[in-house]
Amino acid sequence: MVGYVIYGRGSFNQLDEIIAPQRKDGRPMVFLVDHFFSAAYSGDGKPLVNRMPVRGNDKIIFADVTFEPKTTYVDKLAQELKDEFGTVSGIIGIGGGSTMDLAKAVSLMMNNPGSSADYQGWDLVKQPGVYKAGIPTLSGTGAEVSRTTVLTGPTKKLGMNSDFTPFDQIVLDPELTANAPANQRFYTGMDCYIHCIESLTGTYLNEFSKSYGEKALLLCRDVFINKDRWDDDCDDKLMMASYAGGMSIAYSQVGVAHAVSYGLSYLLGTKHGIGNCMVMNQLEEYYPEGAAEFKWMVEKNNIEIPAGICNGLSEEQFDTMINVSIGMKPLWENALGKDWEKIMTREKLRALYEKL
Interacting partner of 138 out of Fe ion, ligand NAD, none (Cβ under 5 to 8 A depending on kind): ligand NAD
Q: Which is nearer to ligand NAD, 195 or 215 (CB)?
A: 195
Question: Of 194 and 322, which CB lies nearer to Fe ion in the complex structure?
Answer: 194
Mention every residue, 6+ apart, whose C-beta is less than 8 A from residue 58. Answer: 28, 29, 30, 31, 52
Which residue of 90, 93, 142, 202 would you call a contact of ligand NAD, by CB under 6 A?
142
**Three-state DSSP string of 32-100:** EEEHHHCHHHHCCCCHHHHHCCCCCCCEEEEECCCCCCEHHHHHHHHHHHHHHHCCCCEEEEEECHHHH
38 binds, among Fe ion, ligand NAD, none (CB under 5 to 8 A by kind): none
Measure Cα distances from 126 to 89, 97, 111, 114, 161 in Å.
Answer: 19, 24, 9, 12, 11
| Residue from 193, 197, 198 nearest 224 by CA | 193
Binding mask 58-77 for ligand NAD (x = CB under 6 A): -------x--xx--------
Quick one: which segment of 144-152, 198-206, 220-228, 283-291 binds ligand NAD (CB under 6 A)? Answer: 144-152
Residues in the chain: 356
Residue 229: count of CB within 10 angstroms of its CB: 5
Q: Give the residue with the Cβ less far from ligand NAD, 191 or 333.
A: 191
| Long-range contacts of residues 235-239, Cβ cutoff 8 Å, at least 24 apart | 235/139, 235/174, 235/175, 235/177, 235/178, 236/9, 236/174, 238/139, 238/140, 238/174, 238/177, 238/185, 238/189, 238/192, 239/7, 239/136, 239/139, 239/172, 239/174, 239/177
Residue from 31, 36, 224, 353 touching ligand NAD (CB under 6 A): that is 36
Which does residue 244 touch among ligand NAD, Fe ion, none (CB within 5 to 8 A, set by kind)?
none
Q: Residue 131: which region, alpha, beta or left (left: phi > 0; alpha: psi -120 to 50)?
A: beta
Would you count residue 173 as binding ligand NAD (CB under 6 A)? no
> Which residue, 112 or 137, is less far from Fe ion as judged by CB?
137
Using CB under 6 A, which of 143, 170, 197, 257 touches ligand NAD? 143
Whole-angstrom distance, CA of residue 356 vs CA of residue 347: 15
Identify which of residues 152 and 282 has a Cβ nearer to ligand NAD in the complex.
152
137 binds ligand NAD (CB under 6 A): yes
Inter-residue contact 193 to 217 (CB < 8 Å): yes
Residue 182 and residue 238 in contact, taking contact as beta carbons nearer than 8 Å: no
Minimum CB separation of residue 231 from Fe ion in Å reads 25
Cβ proximity to ligand NAD: between 97 and 290 the closer is 97
**Residue closer to ligand NAD (CB basis): 215 or 271:** 271
DSSP for 199-212, written as a single string = HHTSTT--HHHHHH
Query: Per-residue string for binding with ligand NAD, 250-289, x by CB under 6 A?
Result: ---------------------xxx----------------
Interface with ligand NAD (CB under 6 A), residue from 29, 138, 205, 238: 138
Question: With binding defined as CB under 6 A, does residue 120 bind ligand NAD?
Answer: no
146 contributes a contact to ligand NAD by CB under 6 A: yes
Side-chain-facing half-sphere of 196: CA atoms under 13 Å: 27
Question: Of the candidates 112, 149, 248, 281, which one interacts with ligand NAD according to CB under 6 A?
Answer: 149
**Interacting partner of 169 out of Fe ion, ligand NAD, none (Cβ under 5 to 8 A depending on kind):** none
Q: Which does 101 bind (CB under 5 to 8 A by kind): ligand NAD, Fe ion, none?
A: ligand NAD
Residue 191 interacts with Fe ion (CB under 5 A)? yes
Residues of this chain that bind Fe ion (CB under 5 A) = 191
Residues of this chain that bind ligand NAD (CB under 6 A) = 34-36, 65, 68-69, 95-99, 101, 137-138, 141-143, 146, 148-150, 177, 180-181, 184, 188, 191, 271-273
